[in-house]
Structures are given as structure tokens and as C-alpha cells.
Amino acid sequence: MRIRTLTGSLAAVLVMSFPLLSGGQAVAAPSGVPEQSLAARVLTYDASGSAEFRSAVDRGAAVWNESVAAVELRPAASGQRADVRVLADNGWPRALPTGLGGGTVYIGRQAVNQGYDTIRISAHELGHILGLPDRKPGPCSSLMSGSSAGTACTNRYPNAAEKATVEKNFAGALSGTGVTEQAGPTPRAVLIRD
């Protein structure tokens, strides 16, 4: 039965594809065929420990939500274990990914005190959680250039290449197959400092 179904499906695909291969026009599927809905992979974050940077963290998450379709960052519900913890401390901003889409972000006051933009810091560090490495030195147009762009840089948005990488990292979420694997294993505790 399974072979017959697969053979029938293959035949249907070939019949529908033949007009395209011979220069004809494609025919749309009947309206009664349900379409698979595409949903972003939802990652939750807990910014309760981010102190005075709470609104910058929320805005940094919103930047990613506005920029990519394959993943969505949402605040964790009360009592829910978050994929990402965001904390404030007196050091330099950094991310400790535990895998693609998980880890801890520190919004360090040292960079803020030096004049770096808090929303850019937040979006940059969340970029590490989404699988992006630092791109230093780099221009202000690259979110992942981090501190190398200088304190005058307030660009909070990823560039086209950074967006494409995150889309690729989470492409499985849109196809319904889960998160795609990155090349090689993801280290469990990697400190990414800016």
C-alpha cells in the first residue's frame, strides 16, 4: 500500500511538472488542498534580572522579531523556564550560548558607562544566541561588529547577511522539521565577549 501511494504521488508530481519542463504553464493545486502553515520557532527569554536594561532587552528582542521570520523571541511567562536568561552586571557585555537558541546574556554596565547603545548591545548579544559570531573589526552597518564600530554607532539592526544566517540557522522551524543543525557540534559553554 505504501509503495502504491508513493508511486501515485511521484506520478502526480511528474504529471504536474511536465508542462514546466516543456515550456508550458503550471497549474495551481485545487483550493480544497490544505496549505501547511509556517510558524517561527519561539524562543523565550527571561529579562527579570536585567535591572535597568529591561526595556533595552525587550527592544533588542523586538529588533530580531522585526528582522527575521524563522524565529521569534518572546518574554517567558511567569513560572516558565526560559530558553535565554538576560542579566545585568558590572562587566563587559557577553553571551554564553548553551546551544542554538539557548544560553545566558549579560548586559554589562562597563560598555554602557563607556557610551555604547543599550539596545544595540542587547540585539548584538541576542544575535550570539541566534548563532551569529562577532565580526570584528566591522562597520556600524554590521550589528555583529559590536564594540569595534565605536560608541557613535547606534545601528540596532542586523544587516542582510546576518539576517540570512539566522534564517538559515532556524530554517527547520519554518519547514516543520525542527531546528537545522549547524556545521559541527555547538559547544555547551562558550563565552563570547565583545
Residue pLDDT, tens place only, 71-108: 999 999 999 999 999 999 999 999 999 999 999 999 99
Q: Which helix (H) or strand (E) holds 20?
A: helix 2-21
- pLDDT tens readout for residues 101-160: 999 999 999 999 999 999 999 999 999 999 999 999 999 999 999 999 999 999 999 999
> Which DSSP string do the residues of 116-133 spell out, in sequence order?
--HHHHHHHHHHHHTTPP
pLDDT of 172 reads 75
Active site residues: 125
- At 63, list the grid cell: 529588533
What's the half-sphere exposure (Cβ side, CA atoms, 13 Å) at 21?
6
Nearest in space to 180 (alpha carbons), one of 119, 145, 130, 133: 130
Say what the pTM is: 0.73
